[in-house]
A and B are shown apart, each in its own frame.
Chain A
């Protein structure tokens, strides 16, 4: 199985801060990676697909990038509504696997 190592496990930042979350795949997955945001008690929401493509309706302050097997989600200017847990997901091969999540707190 492909392991997705996500870091940090949590981050606390102020409004306007730049926040970076990283996910490392245990083997090559090309660009077969997505990022999701989940708020407490709610279903996940797709933010980024194909490593760097912004899902329709998602604010442009969210962006994704890749370097080899390392993938990065960046929130360029953190907003109050960006709290929640963020997950990466690989869809290169079965089983589909997720990172363990990064909890984002807005101070």
Chain B
């Protein structure tokens, strides 16, 4: 069974950093692009970042560009999101998702269960 498990969320002060991880199992993640999507409490879904199957291409929402970095370690079937200079408005549940193919522009299935990031003093 294909499964994605996020970890690394928690409480962090404004201006702080956090690294999220997403471990994939049940499939070989290498041929697939991967994505991070977030959802602020009580709000809708917001696309955050995507990485190509090779890891050679990355894409970011304007709201996180220059602060967040997406990466992947195919040998560990793990996706990462390094988040720096965190702001209160970054507070959200962060989901990783598998793209339907090698394209970063694609639908997402499955999704992980999400990890909560809270930015507050």
Contact = CB atoms under 8 A, between A and B. Distances in A.
Interface in A36-95: 36, 38, 42-46, 49, 55, 87, 89, 91-95
Given A43-B95, A44-B111, A98 B106 contact: no
A97 interface: yes
A84 to B, nearest CB: 13
| Most chain A beta-carbon neighbours within 10 Å: one of B46, B95, B107 | B107
B105 A87 contact: no
A93 B62 CA distance: 14
Given A95-B47, A101-B44, 20 more contacts: A32-B105, A36-B45, A42-B113, A43-B95, A43-B110, A45-B111, A46-B107, A46-B109, A49-B100, A49-B107, A87-B45, A89-B45, A91-B105, A92-B105, A93-B105, A95-B62, A96-B47, A99-B44, A100-B44, A101-B45
Interface of B: 35, 44-47, 50, 59, 61-62, 95, 100, 105-114
Interface size class of A (residues with CB under 8 A): 20 to 34
17 contacts: A34-B107, A34-B108, A36-B45, A44-B95, A55-B109, A87-B44, A89-B45, A91-B106, A93-B105, A94-B105, A95-B59, A96-B50, A97-B47, A98-B45, A98-B46, A100-B44, A101-B45
